[in-house]
Structure 1
Amino acid sequence: MKNRQNEIETPFLLAIIPLIIMIAVMAITVVVFEGSPHVPLAVGSIVAAFIAWRLGYKWQDIEEGAYKGIRLALPAVLIIIVVGMIIASWIGGGIIATMIYYGLQIITPSLFLMTICIICGIVSLAIGSSWSTMGTIGVAGMGIGMSMGIPAAMVAGAVISGSYFGDKMSPLSDTTNMAAGITGTDLFDHIKHMTYTTIPGLILALIVYFILGRQFGGGEIDQANIQSILASLNSSFVISPWLLLVPLAIVVMVMMKVPALPALIAGVFLGFMCQILVQGGNIGDAVNTLHDGFVISSGNEMVDNLFNRGGIEAMMFTVSLTIFAMVFGGILEHTGMLKAIVTQILKVAKSAGSLIAATILSAFFTNATASEQYISILLPGRMYARAYQDKGLHSKNLSRALEDGGTLTSPFVPWNTCGVFILATLAVHPFAYVPYAVLNYAVPIIGIIMAFVGFKVQFLTEGEMNELKIKQERVDRENELSEGV
């Protein structure tokens, strides 16, 4: 059967209908019913399939688009599953407990805002989760900061900035792996490229917190919460600076250009062995930890909330959401709907700088309309992939823009899942903490400025262009064969 994708032109107004309906259903499901974003994506996929069918596409074409989207997500899915294993093994091996234990002891009352930002950054970098960091260390930080007379909005801003810095830069983060996987970018190349916008944003945030914090320097800090956490960590884990060699080993492997997946698998193995040899666990418990996650009952609610996580099972929500999103995006792309939408946007975004800026703004718009951080990465990632290739831009420009505009702006939207979570966890409304979440709005601005200036905008070499062209031709041939051409 001949590929109808090349014969049927989808009108722009029809192309945006599935997107509008998906966004509307997403808003009702997430905000009103507090449900998950899976069903809205399924509804959007059904609407897109129906419109494509009415335009003349055969079901085989539509189904192939869905399968193609899933195939593109498989590398990211594999990484996400391994990340779940490494989180569990590092918790079980006492590695994360050791990092948190030493991190908590650097709190200085006169520099509290800076310190809590750094601590949240360290913890989030270690576990790859801003939510878990805010729900544990962040909650403790809110109580400590407010007891010193620091406004809740300021403390929340510092907690959010640090938590999202670690989430954005951690190889264990699901959003980081999504952005890299969905764009076909090497994970550690993606993280390295993000440093050009994220590190300046963090420095700017720390300067602001230093200035803001000086007026509260005379406050007395209540050590009760911190000492309770430290005591629980000491009683529940073997704490040793030697365990810090495990994350150091991963850093060394990255510096030696070891690919992401083997490096992460090595991290899983080291954590697994630490749980048995250092923490005194048995092999059966260590194996179960990899699948089910680590389970602890320390008597300290914050410690239990932080460490009862990880494992393959815990990542299935993210994996299934990725598949649903890629089915939706795959149908939109394969039936020409994405092309119709992007064509309208590219009429304005003609230069490399304007394309990157459009990506950042589109990711923020998706956060505000689809109410879900993951969708702000997955949907624009699929929409703009071909446009970046056509302009000779390396995929790591796209992956960085997705995180600058998607990951970091999600807390600014009160009806976004991230904004809802933060309000419930830190008890501060997004409109109150927005001015103090410096990193989260500084990085997108820096990214847009750098895009227009042309600083650290990476273009493909001639060899990379040829390699990409050959790869694309191979994919096209495979698609033609699967469609019976």
Structure 2
Amino acid sequence: MKYNIIRRKDVYLSLIGTISFIALCIFFRYPLFIGLFGSTLLVAFIAVKSGIQAKQVMKMLIAGIEECQTVFMVIILIGMLIALWMASGIVPTMIYYGFNYIHQINYVLACFVSAALISLIMGTALGTVSTIGMVLLGMGRGLVIPSPILIGAIISGAFIADKVSPIGSLVNLTMKTTDVRYKDGVKSILVTLIPTMIISAVFYYMLGTRYNVGLYQGVLQAYQKGIASNFYISPILMILPIIVIVLAMMGVKIIPNMIFGTIGGIGFSLLMQNISLLEMIKIIYYGFGANTGMAELDQILKGGGILPMFEVILIVLGAVSLNSILEGTGMIRPMVDQLMADTKSKGNLIFKTGILSSLLTIITCDQTVGILLPGRFLKSKYEELNVDRAILARTIADTGTTIAPLIPWNVNAIIAAAITGVSAGKYGPYAVLCYISPVLTIIFGYLGTSTNKRKENVAE
């Protein structure tokens, strides 16, 4: 149910208050969930003051939280999965064997390309970062490549899943909301994605040439010895991540797949690493920390756990609560109407679509609203200006969807920081695909690329 009784000045007061709360938390380094809960209380107060019943506001909150139960489960499973794949020897094994080949490649570029390919298969950006991403990060740290550079390359590749992966939830949400068939939407997205990939690859290649892998052969060999003396290393341990990737290719949902990966991690920990049940419970809860006697290697082989994810859950809870009220009360609709007023050219329409999708992603701390509202409200405007709806899908995918990991208070950035230990403010400058993509889609929009309307482009 939508409400239209909130005055425009109260709408802007809500948005300004939300941004101010978040900005203050970032500036003074307070936990981000404090700003999100403060914003939620402010928005709820304005909604009630405007005439919406408190019980209706509460229903919005409850409904929003219930819809995001999957997100909370994924966060917990990510913490468990990382800890168990470390403890079971899966990640150490992949790093151990990876060190044999790492000297032959431009490693920064390899991180970008590998993350992109795996994300297309798995259909989830955060799933890619929390599995293969941790392996790539571990090997890169062994080469003394700065973590922000590695994570920026991994994030750039991983978030391609949210743009074009056929099994990606956000991809399918975008196509469904805009009434575009997947194959037509992807054709349009590739128009900007291919040059974006090329520019990003060139950037990472140039960046990677600064790090001479050959200089660290002795260090890598020492790390291999340290890993071999503290873990049972075998190619058998690589079977589990391969199965997880295959299951993702077969369309298995992320939660069942992660549960399978978690159970497999428990089994390998018990059978191959001789970890006691009590010790494994501690690892699942607190996270894993290696004790190899080499401080640098111990830094590589640590992470995960349910406890470190509690703050992430509170942040997501705050973001979901805020988003539920903003969307449920219709506070965002006046912003949409005002932004799109007097839009008469195709280039201006695409530019404003990108701005709107990005603003919604920034304000609501999630990508979902940045997809749903432009997708729902702007279809008729695209029809009016004779612009293909596939371009609407492309613009949303290239802007609001792609910039999410760059925004420090966005759910995606928070989870990525919890997984890797590096904040968006540090890895953001190196996640080049995430900010090249919006620029290119706006440029292509003004150039009039692929702006013909195809009436047959209707979702099946």
- Which TM-score applies when normalising by structure 2? 0.71
Between the aligned partners of 1:402 and 1:276, the Cα distance in structure 2 is 43
Q: Does structure 1 residue 10 correspond to structure 2 residue 6?
A: yes
Report the AA paired with residue 154 of structure 2.
Answer: S
In the TM superposition, residue 76 of structure 1 has moved relative to its aligned partner by 1.9
SS in 1 for 2:30: coil
The aligned residue for residue 54 of structure 2 is 59
* C-alpha distance 323-419 of structure 1, shift in aligned 2 (>3 A): closer
Between the aligned partners of 2:175 and 2:58, the Cα distance in structure 1 is 23
Q: Which string of whole-angstrom CA distances, capped at 9 and with x for unpartnered residues, describes residues 314-353 of structure 1?
A: 3322222111111111111222212222333344779999
Report the AA paired with residue 312 of structure 1.
Answer: I
SS in 1 for 2:289: coil
* C-alpha distance 167-437 of structure 1, shift in aligned 2 (>3 A): closer
Q: List gaps (5 residues or longer) in structure 2.
A: 120-125, 177-181, 383-388
* C-alpha distance 320-9 of structure 1, shift in aligned 2 (>3 A): same
Structure 2 counterparts to residues 449-468 of structure 1, below 5 A: 453=450, 461-462=459-460
The aligned residue for residue 403 of structure 2 is 405
Structure 2 counterparts to residues 1-400 of structure 1, below 5 A: 5-6=2-3, 8-31=4-27, 33-108=28-103, 111=106, 113-115=108-110, 127-128=129-130, 140-141=142-143, 143=144, 158-165=149-156, 167-168=158-159, 201-210=196-205, 221-347=215-341, 360-362=354-356, 375=365, 377=367, 380=370, 384=374, 386-387=376-377
Counterpart contact for 2:399–2:437, Cα < 8 Å = no
Query: Aligned residues: percent identity?
Result: 23
Report the AA paired with residue 324 of structure 1.
Answer: G
* C-alpha distance 322-248 of structure 1, shift in aligned 2 (>3 A): same
In the TM superposition, residue 112 of structure 1 has moved relative to its aligned partner by 5.4
Counterpart contact for 1:362–1:405, Cα < 8 Å = no
SS in 2 for 1:317: helix
Counterpart contact for 1:70–1:327, Cα < 8 Å = yes
Between the aligned partners of 2:69 and 2:417, the Cα distance in structure 1 is 30
In the TM superposition, residue 9 of structure 1 has moved relative to its aligned partner by 2.6
Between the aligned partners of 2:451 and 2:441, the Cα distance in structure 1 is 10
Counterpart contact for 2:137–2:147, Cα < 8 Å = no
Counterpart contact for 1:69–1:327, Cα < 8 Å = yes
Between the aligned partners of 1:89 and 1:419, the Cα distance in structure 2 is 18
Report the AA paired with residue 200 of structure 2.
Answer: A
Between the aligned partners of 1:397 and 1:314, the Cα distance in structure 2 is 35
In the TM superposition, residue 106 of structure 1 has moved relative to its aligned partner by 2.7
Q: List gaps (5 residues or longer) in structure 1.
A: 145-154, 463-485
Between the aligned partners of 1:259 and 1:419, the Cα distance in structure 2 is 20
Between the aligned partners of 2:132 and 2:15, the Cα distance in structure 1 is 28
Pairwise CA RMSD of aligned residues?
4.9
In the TM superposition, residue 158 of structure 1 has moved relative to its aligned partner by 4.9
SS in 1 for 2:288: coil
Between the aligned partners of 1:84 and 1:93, the Cα distance in structure 2 is 14
In the TM superposition, residue 73 of structure 1 has moved relative to its aligned partner by 1.4
- Which TM-score applies when normalising by structure 1? 0.68
* C-alpha distance 256-425 of structure 1, shift in aligned 2 (>3 A): closer
Between the aligned partners of 2:211 and 2:42, the Cα distance in structure 1 is 57
In the TM superposition, residue 449 of structure 1 has moved relative to its aligned partner by 6.6
* Aligned residue pair count: 421
Q: Which string of whole-angstrom CA distances, capped at 9 and with x for unpartnered residues, describes residues 154-200 of structure 1?
A: x77853442313553689xxxx9996899899xxx9xx979957676
In the TM superposition, residue 208 of structure 1 has moved relative to its aligned partner by 3.9
